[in-house]
């Protein structure tokens, strides 16, 4: 088990192409911890909170009896991974990657591992 700051540090230093990461409370849109640069993580947290809420509402409206593992947003130069925490309802891990320098499969796997070890 690790603190939010330790977990984010491990996530970004262990992945080639990692630019920034945050842990976000999706009930408020507030950042609980962040690391990196190249993106306004406070603004991104607020915006991605709306993405998570919209997806969960859509799943509910469709009557899907399933869980949300992660959301992948692919931009021209970046990948954005949003991973809701299984153990902490209403909190997600957010990771920004340089698309040219990163391995998406490895990043998804590492984000899942980190999500499981964060303690509050």
Q: pLDDT tens digits for 53-103?
A: 999 999 999 999 999 999 999 999 999 999 999 989 999 999 999 999 999
14 C-beta neighbours (distance < 10 Å), count? 13
Q: What is the pLDDT of residue 120?
A: 83
Domain total in the chain: 1
* Residue-wise DSSP of 81-106: EEEE-SSSTTEEEEEEEETTT--HHH
Q: What is the pLDDT of residue 83?
A: 98
Q: What is the CATH number of the domain that holds 62?
A: 3.30.450.30
Q: Which domain holds residue 54?
A: 4-117
Structure tokens at 116: 């499981």
Q: What is the pLDDT of residue 54?
A: 96
Please say if the pLDDT value at position 1 is more than 80: no
């Amino acid at each position: 088990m690790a603190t939010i700051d330790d977990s984010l540090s491990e996530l970004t230093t262990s992945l080639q192409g990692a630019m920034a990461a945050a842990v976000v409370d999706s009930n408020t849109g507030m950042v609980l911890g962040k690391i990196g640069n190249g993106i306004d993580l406070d603004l991104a947290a607020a915006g991605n909170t709306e993405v998570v809420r919209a997806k969960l509402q859509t799943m509910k409206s469709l009557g899907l009896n399933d869980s949300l593992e992660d959301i992948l947003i692919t931009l021209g130069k970046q990948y954005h991974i949003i991973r809701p925490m299984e153990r902490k309802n209403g909190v997600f891990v957010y990771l920004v990657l340089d698309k040219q320098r990163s391995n998406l499969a490895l990043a998804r796997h590492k984000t899942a591992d980190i999500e499981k070890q964060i303690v509050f």
